[in-house]
Amino acid sequence: MLTKTEAKSLIDQLRDKEISLGRVPDTWYTYENHVLGVAKVAQTIAQKIEGLNPERIYVAAMLHDISRTEEEREKRFHGILGYEKLIDLDADAARSAITHMFPWNIIPPFESCSKMFFGNKADYDFVAAFLKNNPRTDVDLLIQLSDTMANKDGIVTLEQRAQEYAQRFNISIPKEMIEPRYKLKAYFDDKIGGNVYDLFKAKDIDVNYQSKVQKER
């Protein structure tokens, strides 16, 4: 299992690799804000739920996107790449890589997500079998929620995340994409007996997000 320090070292190694391949250093914050934001959200919520290990969840959440920057070069789904990179280092982190994109561990038919898998049916079948053979856990669900509560600016609400996504890709968010994530929030609201947003101070959730989005348009 990896410690927080070792997990952060993997992130730093990835940063150095990406910059050596031509990434502009000043843009790295967009990746780091997301993964560290996801880790903070997951750890903070886990601290309120009996039976979860906040420290382990922080590590797994931090590494969920460890291969996100590499998938275009490799032409393979980043969840698979991350799983392969992490499985011998930290099984929990490897699991987070392969499950975080599929709310409630439900994978759509291949025809609906073949682009995500770069047309690689073998990778799709591996993920589908993993989800079928490994019953979902609250850790899976928590990292899925947390992934939706952090973007390039850090911690945000689901509404802000959907707004940013819609703007970035110039699309309307389909109901089947957003509804499972609202159900995840409702699930964890019930788990903590409150609103997960209330666990984060105004300085954590980006209260100026709306005005920033308007300025960028």
- Does residue 84 have a pLDDT over 70? yes
CB neighbours of residue 30 within 10 Å: 11
**Domains delineated in the chain:** 4-155 (1.10.3210)
For 113-160, what is each residue's pLDDT tens digit? Answer: 999 999 999 999 999 999 999 999 999 999 999 999 999 988 999 988
Residue 40 or 204, more confident: 40
Which are the contacts of 176, defined by CB distance < 8 A and separation ≥ 6?
none
Mean pLDDT of the chain: 91
Token pair 């490994």 in the structure block, residue: 134
**pLDDT score of 208:** 46
**pLDDT score of 157:** 92
| Residue 64: band (very low, low, confident or very high) from pLDDT cuts 50, 70, 90 | very high
**pLDDT score of 216:** 36
**pLDDT score of 204:** 66
Listed in sequence order, the DSSP H helices in the chain are: 4-20, 29-46, 54-62, 71-74, 78-86, 91-99, 110-113, 121-133, 138-147, 158-169, 175-192, 209-216
For 65-77, what is each residue's pLDDT tens digit? Answer: 999 999 999 999 9
Structure tokens at 102: 């599929």
For 149-208, what is each residue's pLDDT tens digit? Answer: 999 988 999 988 888 877 877 877 777 778 999 999 999 999 999 999 999 975 566 544
Which are the contacts of 209, defined by CB distance < 8 A and separation ≥ 6?
153, 156, 160, 163, 164
**pLDDT score of 194:** 96
**pLDDT score of 203:** 53
Percent of the chain with pLDDT over 70: 93
